[in-house]
Amino acid sequence: MGRTKQRICCVLVAVLLLIFSCLGVDGTEQSQTNVTKGLKGCNMYKGSWVWDDSYPLYDFSRCPYLPKDFDCLGNGRRDQNYLKYRWQPENCNLPRFDGVDFLKRLKGKKIMFVGDSISLQHGQSLICHLHAAVPSSKITADDPNIVRFEDYDVTVIVSFSPFLVDIEQEQVGRVLKLDSIKGAQIWKDIDILVFNTWLWWPNDAAYDYIQEGDKIVKHMDPMEAFRKGLTTWAKWVNSSIDPSKTKVYFRGVTPIHDNGAQWGDPTANSCFNEREPVRGSTYPAGPPPEQKVAEEVLRTITKPVTLLDITTLTQLRKDAHPGIYRQDGPDCIHWCIPGIIETWNQLLYATLL
């Protein structure tokens, strides 16, 4: 009888260990199959940054498409701590980015990143992420913004459109047209579209006038203009996207780290000396108002649109900017490559599984 009880206990322990292993409760990255199952019903965007000695997973130093301006290591940054943090959701584990699998899933397709300079960075990061996975693959780039992985028939395109709506040169000057989106013509026949906009909206030096309908004004509240312009884009998605052919993403807005009070350090007025993320899962200043506007507009879209909700997890990374290690000058707006953007790629990949 004693031996029978002992055997039953051993079996129960083995079963429990198997269950815990499948759930990935140890906080490590499990097999893709287990992780994919675990992602169902899980908020991938709520979590914290944890130190991981196995990071970085990829070597970008040999990527011919790496933008030198944002190559922080190449530009003299000595600490590499910003490369050693992994995003850990609270209730699930993310699959590691598998560049070969990503290319196989997108075989015969085109993915385009549309938006401001942060969107360009996102596309450039993905190109280097894929290059690191298949360094011997045949890759062509007749245009630096159009890179084709020939062996997989996958094309990655980056398209600069900081407002998404049109800005045109007219006799009076540069006119930002809130209800015109003729530039969307080049978005046709793209299989995956990753949009973003906000960075340029508060910058009234980027345009001379704003037009809505027949009304032209010199100034408009940036948040109001942003809402109107993004609504024009949302209407375009509703009227022009065929979900059976095109998958649409909108990437959340990213922060500027130039005010330490926002992350709990009133003595800091830049990102220059930051060497670690904000601890925990919440950003002291809370979500930026422009993200709330974006989410409100997204809710008006009837076609499927996936929000890459990277805002909070990116707010936590005050350490991941180029700072003084950018060729064009100090920068607490853009991001080191490699760096945090590879996590955006990882999240994008997770949505495809």
Active site residues: 117, 331, 334
For 33, counting Cβ atoms within 10 Å of its Cβ (0-12 exposed, 13-18 middle, 19+ buried), the class is exposed
Long-range contacts of 308-311, Cβ-Cβ distance < 8 Å, separation of 24 or more: 308/194, 308/249, 308/250, 308/251, 308/252, 308/344, 308/347, 308/348, 308/351, 309/45, 309/252, 310/45, 310/251, 310/252, 310/254, 310/343, 310/344, 310/347, 311/252, 311/253, 311/254, 311/255, 311/287
Tell me the sheet residues that pair with 85: 51
Tell me the sheet residues that pair with 148: 140, 155
How many other CB atoms sit within 10 Å of the CB of residue 52?
A: 17
Per residue, the 3-state secondary structure of 113-159, as one string, reads EEECHHHHHHHHHHHHHHHHHCCCCCEEEEECCEEEECCCCEEEEEE
Inter-residue contact 180 to 165 (CB < 8 Å): yes
Per residue, the 3-state secondary structure of 256-267, as one string, reads CCCCHHHHCCCC
Q: How far is CA 295 from the centre of its chain?
A: 16
Bridging pattern class, strands 85-89 and 47-51 = antiparallel
Rounded Cα–Cα distance for residues 1 and 171 (Å): 96
Give the 3-state secondary structure of residue 340: coil
What are the Cα distances from residue 47, in Å, to 4, 171, 255, 312? 43, 51, 18, 9
